[in-house]
């Protein structure tokens, strides 16, 4: 019981804590370039310039362009899995609470770390060999965490879904999809969005949206758009 305490910071859990600039500068430069142009559309010279390094300077830190992608994707999956486990642990034995916190955690991650999550999801085909296999394994593990909780809830009679497996996939897809459209300068904070998504997810399982917390204004009108086709307010 005391094991989880080490992970807690104040009265909030680590899975809710998101600090800025978590990646080393070089990986951050690579991530920004990948988000803008894609892995194959990015040149090593662009990444080096963005990180204020020469090309050989870059290769001192990473063996290849592929190694940059692998490091980014591994970081993303590790971070998400640890947070997900923390969230479930915090929920205790209530399946309904486990589900609510896990979906909140998923949504929170895909909003706060949208660039990281976007690349981890969209550049699977650019990963070579074992890295791809390992990445897909992590992704499947994440899907299974949701599957298991939903199945448990079905057994306990808390959840009601005709096709739990399909519902589970739909829920995970709508959460991971956040990374495709979320904007850090939008009106909706990751925390507010996560609560809304947890409620939407609960409804697909026949559970009323239950105890809400706060409510905010509605969405804006898009103007220009960026590389990912999201509205650009910058």
Residue 126 or 148 with smaller CB distance to DNA: 126
User: How far is the C-alpha of 186 from the C-alpha of 166, rounded, in Å?
Assistant: 31
C-beta of 72 vs 194, nearer to DNA: 72
Q: Which does 215 bind (CB under 5 to 8 A by kind): DNA, its own copies, none?
A: its own copies
Q: What tokens appear for 38 in the block?
A: 């894609």
Site residues, its own copies (CB under 8 A) = 36-41, 121-122, 124-126, 132-133, 135-136, 139-140, 162-163, 165-167, 169-171, 173-174, 176-178, 180-181, 188, 193, 196-197, 199-200, 203-206, 209, 212, 215, 218-219, 222, 225, 227-229
Give yes or no for a contact between 178 and 150, defined as CB atoms under 8 angstroms apart: no
Q: Least distance from C-beta 70 to DNA, angstroms?
A: 12
DSSP lists the bridge partners of residue 13 as: 8
Please, what is the minimum distance in Å from the beta carbon of residue 54 to its own copies?
Answer: 24
- DSSP H stretches of helix in the chain: 25-37, 44-50, 55-61, 65-91, 95-112, 114-122, 129-156, 164-176, 178-181, 190-204
Question: By C-beta, is 88 or 127 nearer to DNA?
Answer: 127
What does 55 bind: DNA, its own copies, none (CB cut-off 5 to 8 Å by kind)?
DNA
Closest CB 64 distance from DNA, rounded Å = 4
- CA-closest candidate to residue 38, choices 143, 115, 137: 115
Chain residues in the site for DNA (CB under 7 A): 42-45, 52-57, 59-61, 63-66
The interface partner of residue 213, options being its own copies, DNA, none and the CB cut-off 5 to 8 Å by kind, is none
Closest CA to 159 of 103, 215, 105: 103
- Quote the crossing angle between the two packed helices 25-37 and 114-122, to the nearest 10°: 60
Question: If contact means CB under 5 to 8 A according to the sort of partner, which of DNA, its own copies, none does residue 184 touch?
Answer: none
Q: Which does 44 bind (CB under 5 to 8 A by kind): DNA, its own copies, none?
A: DNA
Smallest distance from the beta carbon of 136 to DNA, in angstroms? 22
Q: How far is the CB of 19 from DNA (least distance, A)?
A: 22
CA dist., res. 197 & res. 163, Å (int): 20
Radius of gyration of the chain (CA): 19
84 contact, one of DNA, its own copies, none, CB 5-8 Å limit per kind:
none
Q: What's the CA gap between 169 and 2, in Å, rounded? A: 34
Phi, psi dihedral angles at 13 (to 5 degrees): -90, 160
């Amino acid at each position: 019981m005391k094991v989880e305490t080490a992970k807690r910071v104040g009265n909030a859990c680590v899975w809710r804590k998101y600090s800025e600039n978590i990646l080393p500068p070089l990986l951050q430069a690579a991530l920004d370039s990948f988000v803008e142009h894609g892995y194959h559309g990015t040149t090593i010279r662009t990444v080096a310039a963005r990180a204020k390094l020469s090309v050989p300077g870059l290769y001192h830190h990473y063996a290849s362009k592929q190694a940059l992608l692998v490091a980014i994707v591994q970081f993303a999956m590790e971070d998400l899995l640890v947070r997900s486990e923390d969230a479930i642990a915090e929920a205790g034995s209530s399946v309904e609470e486990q589900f609510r916190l896990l979906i909140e955690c998923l949504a929170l991650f895909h909003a706060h770390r949208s660039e990281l999550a976007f690349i981890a999801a969209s550049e699977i085909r650019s990963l070579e060999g074992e890295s791809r296999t390992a990445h897909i394994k992590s992704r499947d593990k994440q899907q299974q965490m949701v599957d298991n909780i939903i199945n448990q809830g079905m057994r306990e009679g808390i959840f009601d879904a005709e096709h739990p497996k399909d519902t589970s996939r739909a829920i995970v897809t709508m959460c991971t999809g956040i990374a495709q459209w979320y904007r850090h300068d939008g009106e909706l904070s990751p925390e507010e969005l996560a609560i809304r998504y947890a409620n939407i997810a609960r409804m697909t399982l026949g559970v009323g949206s239950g105890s809400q917390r706060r409510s905010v204004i509605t969405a804006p009108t898009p103007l220009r758009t960026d590389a990912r086709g999201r509205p650009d307010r910058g």
